[in-house]
Amino acid sequence: MTPPAPDAPASVYATALLAGLVRRGVTDVVVCPGSRSQALALAAARFEQAGLLHLHVRIDERSAGFLALGLAAETGVPAVVVTTSGTAVGNLHPAVLEAAHSGVPLLVVSADRPEELRGVGANQTTRQAGIFRDVAPQSWDVPPPVGDAGEEDAADALAAELLDGIRGPRHVNLAFREPLSSPVRLPEIEPGEWVSAAVPAADTIELAPAPGTVVVAGTGAGEQAERIARELGAPLLAEVASGARFGPNLVAAYRELLGTAGFGDRVERVVVFGHPTLSREVPALIERRGVETVVVRTAGLDDYNPGRRVARFADELVVDTSREPDPSWPRRWVHASRTLLEVDDGSVASIGTDYAERAAFAREQLQRMRAPVTRRDLAEAVWAASWPHDRLVLGASRLIRELDRVAPGKRIPVHANRGLAGIDGTVATATGIALASQRDETRPGVTRVLFGDLALLHDVGSLLGGEGEEWPRLQLVVGNDHGGTIFDGLEVARSADPALADRVLLTPQHVDLAALASAYGWEHRLVTERGQLDGALTPTPGRVVVEVALAR
């Protein structure tokens, strides 16, 4: 009788490392296929089989990286992405960059050749140890396990080191020699609950209420920005992806008011939470002479500092509540903002009882329902359709700026990759957010993505999920104006030859999105009139591409 093959050191080490991560609260692993990483992939599959973690498999590493980013952004728990060697690791770079600049905990685990195969032209071998060092300075290059006693303990200790105080991306590069895998022997594991390490507040600033103060909330600011604005008695200039777009001090039309006499010119102090990216008015205010700015640091790679004019940075901010704020200062801003956003909707209450008047009103409403959809129509409809149990993901396009201009206060979870404000990985990120947010079936919800056609096409590979992969309730709401019309609002539109600008910036496209959706197994809905919008945004199980025709 042939004795069983000995356990491969690669599998023993990979299993111990994953066990160490699971014991410390990691719940999600994203895997891409590859030979050199097979020990990690097979161990993750065995852990999923035992109900110890959620496994997600993707064929495209760029998509996998952003899927892990979305999972971590929603849960706050580090997500793991596993790749083989070579170009596979490089394809993670966009997601690693976003994680670094937005402070999302992302753990990259790459498999590599051992030292004797490096630098000799071996297949699928490059200089991948420390490949992300500029944005993920904490990285490890681990030599191949050989089966010595104590290697499993070393793997568990490495898991603890990888997770200790993690705030952005980290990279561990694991060398493996053949044999690259053996059957996985599952150890006894008790999954732990993730507890993020408390970051010591090295710099705490206390501010007192004072007229002339405004609070700016950028992406990732969270609810603390709204609370501080109330305590300071300050207008709240909250971007739509800030997580603070609500409350009595909210000024939705902040862009217009920052340029209006009696408002923006009276600002003397700016308090910033999160990462503002959606307007030019905010950085212009901070750079203005005579304006003091206090920035509360984020977990991102760089401190926000337009024109290098920020006076003070803080890890934490508290308000001196012994002084009462002047309520007239925020009241003026809030009232003016609401007035700017008011639109006469021609409600039934505003028309008379005369038959002719009612008939005219009915014709007007019918005409309105049959009118083409504008960007404002689309933005407002998506905002109105989303509620606290949903998730709204905003891609890099004209539409996030349109929504930022008109969205009223609403306490709903909003995500956006604004660390670098790139077009990359929007579908994959949203898929991760949706998967993580929909695990509690007692709180049914849908994840909607609002973005442009180029953002969809840039990440079209993320529409694909392999057989057996879990898919959440996901609506991709695509404003299709057949190209990058965001450039129409920039200086280049006024200075460049229109034909040249269209060629290299607009990049016009005429993809059949219905056929594309069908090819990947998604339902497709086409909206060409305003009256079709609400019905198209109605939540349904499964995956839906809602294509909304927009004029350039």
Give strand ranges (E) for 218-358. 236-238, 269-273, 292-296, 312-314, 316-319
How many domains would you assign to the chain? 3
Last residue of a domain, one of 156, 175, 194: 175
Same domain, 473 and 513: yes
Position 350 scores a pLDDT of 45
Give domain status of residue 1, yes or no: no
Give domain status of residue 502, yes or no: yes
Successive 10-residue mean pLDDT values, the chain, 552 residues: 73 98 98 96 97 96 98 97 96 98 97 85 85 94 96 98 96 96 93 80 89 96 97 98 97 96 97 97 96 96 95 94 93 96 52 62 68 95 96 96 96 96 96 95 88 96 90 96 84 84 87 97 96 94 96 90
Give domain status of residue 302, yes or no: yes
Task: State which residues form the domain around 90.
Answer: 9-175
Last residue of a domain, one of 317, 341, 365: 341
Give domain status of residue 194, yes or no: no
Cα distances (angstroms) measured from residue 453 to each of 399, 412, 476, 510: 11, 25, 10, 10
Position 5 scores a pLDDT of 61
Same domain, 142 and 217: no
CB-based contact 107:32 (threshold 8 Å):
no
The one-letter amino acid code at 413 reads P
User: Any idea what the CATH number is for the domain that residue 234 is in?
Assistant: 3.40.50.1220
Position 349 scores a pLDDT of 42
Same domain, 13 and 140: yes
Q: pTM score, two decimals? A: 0.93
Same domain, 331 and 429: no
Same domain, 167 and 305: no
- Residue 368: which of 533, 222, 171 has the closest Cα? 533
The pair of structure tokens assigned to 227 is 């609370």
d(CA 345, CA 358): 15
Give domain status of residue 491, yes or no: yes
Position 376 scores a pLDDT of 95
Same domain, 264 and 154: no
Same domain, 380 and 521: yes
Position 493 scores a pLDDT of 76
CB-based contact 121:127 (threshold 8 Å):
no
List the beta bridge partners of residue 106: 79, 169
Task: For residue 350, report the phi and psi dihedrals to the nearest 5 degrees.
Answer: -90, -5
Give domain status of residue 187, yes or no: no
Same domain, 209 and 99: no
d(CA 197, CA 217): 24
User: Any idea what the CATH number is for the domain that residue 67 is in?
Assistant: 3.40.50.970
Same domain, 520 and 452: yes
Position 118 scores a pLDDT of 80
Same domain, 99 and 14: yes
Position 344 scores a pLDDT of 38
Same domain, 379 and 504: yes
The pair of structure tokens assigned to 366 is 């019918």
Q: What is the CA radius of gyration of the chain?
A: 26
Give domain status of residue 312, yes or no: yes
- Residue 407: which of 538, 214, 244 has the closest Cα? 244
Give domain status of residue 181, yes or no: no
170's enclosing H/E stretch is: strand 169-175
Same domain, 167 and 208: no
